[in-house]
Amino acid sequence: RCKTCGEYIYKGKKFNARKETVQNESYLGLPIFRFYIKCTRCLAEITFKTDPENTDYTMEHGATRNFQAEKLLEEEEKRMQKEREEEELNNPMKVLENRTKDSKLEMEVLENLQELKELNQRQANVDFEAMLKQYKELEEEQRRKEQE
């Protein structure tokens, strides 16, 4: 979002941009590029860099990023996994507890999956055409009775 006028600049928006390679910065041998674009409303200059580590962009000047819930969720999951690993290193009983929790969760998931498969098989066995045909015959029979 542009800091000058507040215009939203979408990630997929097509721009004519000036590109330069950032000196003394690379990630695993990949060069990092800096892009210069202009806001579509106020023509203020906005700069951002590529972030190949996170497959994203980082804002430098002229604009701010919107809130990203997905990124925060991923970071939280990584932090929880790291805490769990550290806890398991110090406490062998915790390893056993976590394994039992994981196996219970896996069993529940497999049971739910099996139930869904059975439900889908029941629905697959239903012949909708035959049901519609039977319904039409029943309607015709009722009409005949009414006419009689």
From first to last of its 148 residues, the chain has per-residue pLDDT tens of 888 888 888 877 788 889 999 888 888 888 999 999 998 888 899 999 998 888 888 888 888 887 766 677 788 889 988 988 888 888 888 888 888 998 999 999 999 999 999 888 877 776 778 888 999 999 999 999 999 8
Which tokens go with 14? 């097509």
- Pair (79, 99) in one structural domain: yes
In a domain, 10, yes or no: no
Length of the chain: 148
Kindly state whether residues 80 and 142 are assigned to the same domain. Answer: yes
Q: CB neighbours of 57 closer than 8 A, spacing ≥ 6?
A: 11, 48, 49, 50, 51
Q: How far apart are CA 104 and CA 109, in angstroms?
A: 9
Q: What is the pLDDT of residue 73?
A: 78
pLDDT number for residue 83? 87
Return the pLDDT at 69: 61
Minimal CA–CA distance to 65: which of 3, 12, 1? 1
CA atoms within 13 A on the CB side of 132: 3
Q: Are residues 37 and 52 in the same domain?
A: yes
Structural domain includes residue 5: no
90 and 142 together in one domain: yes
In a domain, 11, yes or no: no
**Sheet order of strands, 30-38 included:** 18-27, 30-38, 45-51, 56-61
Helices (H), 25-127: 69-90, 92-125
Residue 2 is classified by DSSP as: B
What is the extent of the structural domain holding 49? 18-66
- Do 74 and 142 belong together in one domain? yes
Domains identified in the chain, total number: 2
